[in-house]
Amino acid sequence: MGEIKRTLAEMDLITLRDAIAGGDLGIAEVAASFIEVVAERNPQLNAIVRFDEHWVQAQVRELEQRRRAGETLPLLGVPFTVKDTLWIKGRTATQGSRLFADFVAPEDAVAVQRLKQAGALILGHSNSSEFACKGVTTNRLYGATRNPWNLEMTPGGSSGGAAAAVSAGLGAFALCTDGGGSTRRPAAHSGVVGLKPSCGLIPHPTGFQEPLFGNGVIGLMTRRIADLEPLLATLAGAHPCDADTPVGLARESDPIASVAGARIAFSPRFGLDVPVEEDQLEAIAGVASALEHAGAIVEPRDPVWPQGAGEAAFATLQFAGLAALYGDAFQRDAGPFDPDIAAQIEKGLGLSGADVARAYFDRAELYRAMADLFSHCDAVLTPTTPCTAWPHSELGPATIAGQPVSPRGHAVFTPIINHSFHAAVSVPCGIASNGLPMGAQIIVPRFRDARALKIGRVVEETFGAPFARPRWPLT
């Protein structure tokens, strides 16, 4: 691969955008470079599962016409991937499921539409676990996605294809989803930035029905914190078909003007009795020290959770949602389903209405616990995950810090934020002793997403920059 093409693949979104806008780079030149990167790197990763060079070039021609016509295109020519759970009009979208192997999207997802309007260039669909309901990215249609930092490892899930793509330079950013950590955890495992926006900040009223009863949001992955800002400027805003996007609220000014003086609750286990690897604990303590050095008031403080917080409620709603959406198809023929997803559907079919109602009551308790925590602080700092990535052939690590864990033991710090509708960003914060990246999770009140980015910038400046690229094995 030529040095210029490699440089473009590693370039952050803002630098690439400005080079195109300023005429230093042509849209066709950028597209050709990324087409070559995908061709050389993706076969090792299986990050992008549907890639059509001719379709990419057709987009380039359309973008050049729009530029000549004088359109304002703030993301002109910036290449990105779209998770295979999101619709691109006229293109196949499968959710990683054999049930949808031949489904063609009748319209764009709102987020896809807004990025198209801004002039961004779609490279293809990134891999996802079936229905985005597993913590590893593998399915019976496309197989497993591999982590660019170690090809034997998973990037996590369900947005593992997105994470691997951004980490390996297959696009400047990725559009994905986060229903329980599906953006943040793969970002942490792959050494990139992953944002779960506040529920309602980015509308998502169209496309596949998600099984998480409002917990799922559009997510974003980038190589730098600053790259999230132009994306949010493009994507955020009310939509008439999405009741969760309140008009005007997202534009209210934040009383926390800087990191200096901000009250940050340092919660290395997030108030949960769970094992965490020592490397993760040391890294997150280093992040806390860096924020203190930047003037933040960092104090140990854990949320006070109701009994059985988080995972039980998350699992119940997911199982029930999967059963409601796909239970009939499963009962007719279980053959097309991933066995792990089939097991979740079976559990969902055995739930009662009272079980689901209790899960909603639990979710309300989680929200109240987070509201109480935010009455004492402006942001919360936790590890994104309690461990680094594990082999892609396994559903989850068997042990963490020497203790046996369930298959969801790696996911303990993220689903609660989906239940509570708050915003959180995962920022790279170092490399563990096994050579794999780690992430720090910064949680903020709903619609204070910009605050998370402000705090995340300090983390990135201290820890993130040296670790933003994998030691790609083929270059």
| Residue 465 or residue 170, greater confidence | 170
Structure confidence at residue 249 (pLDDT): 58
pLDDT class of 475 with cuts at 50, 70, 90: very low
Q: pTM for the whole thing? A: 0.96
182 is catalytic: yes
Structure confidence at residue 243 (pLDDT): 85
Of 135, 148, 142, 225, the C-alpha closest to 183 is 135
E strands within 98-167?
121-126, 138-139, 143-144
pLDDT class of 214 with cuts at 50, 70, 90: confident
Residue 357 has pLDDT above 80, yes or no: yes
Structure confidence at residue 6 (pLDDT): 65
pLDDT class of 474 with cuts at 50, 70, 90: very low
% of the chain residues with pLDDT over 90: 88
Structure confidence at residue 470 (pLDDT): 62
Of 168, 263, 268, the C-alpha closest to 221 is 168
Per DSSP, what are the bridge partners of residue 403? 400
The H-or-E segment that residue 45 falls in is helix 27-45
* C-alpha to C-alpha distances, 88 to 69, 110, 175, 310, 326, nearest whole angstrom: 24, 10, 12, 33, 22
Provide the token pair at 89: 């009009």
Q: Residues 83, 116, 134, 454: which is the catalytic one?
A: 83
Cα first-last separation, the chain: 8
Residues 22-45, mean pLDDT to the nearest whole number: 97
pLDDT tens digit sequence for 264-299: 999 999 999 999 999 999 999 999 999 999 999 999
Q: Residues 126, 182, 190, 426: which is the catalytic one?
A: 182
Structure confidence at residue 306 (pLDDT): 87
**Chain mean pLDDT for the chain:** 94
CB 219 within 8 A of CB 252: no
pLDDT tens digit sequence for 376-435: 999 999 999 999 999 999 999 999 999 999 999 999 999 999 999 999 999 999 999 999
What DSSP letter does each residue of 196-263 carry, written as one string? EPPTTTS---SSSPPTTTT--EEEEEESSGGGHHHHHHHH-S-BTTBTT--TTGGGSPPS--SSTT-E
Structure confidence at residue 229 (pLDDT): 98
Compute how many other C-beta atoms are within 10 angstroms of the C-beta atom of residue 344. Answer: 26
Structure confidence at residue 5 (pLDDT): 60
Q: Residues 126, 128, 158, 267: which is the catalytic one?
A: 158
Residue 473 has pLDDT above 90, yes or no: no
Structure confidence at residue 254 (pLDDT): 87
d(CA 129, CA 180): 13
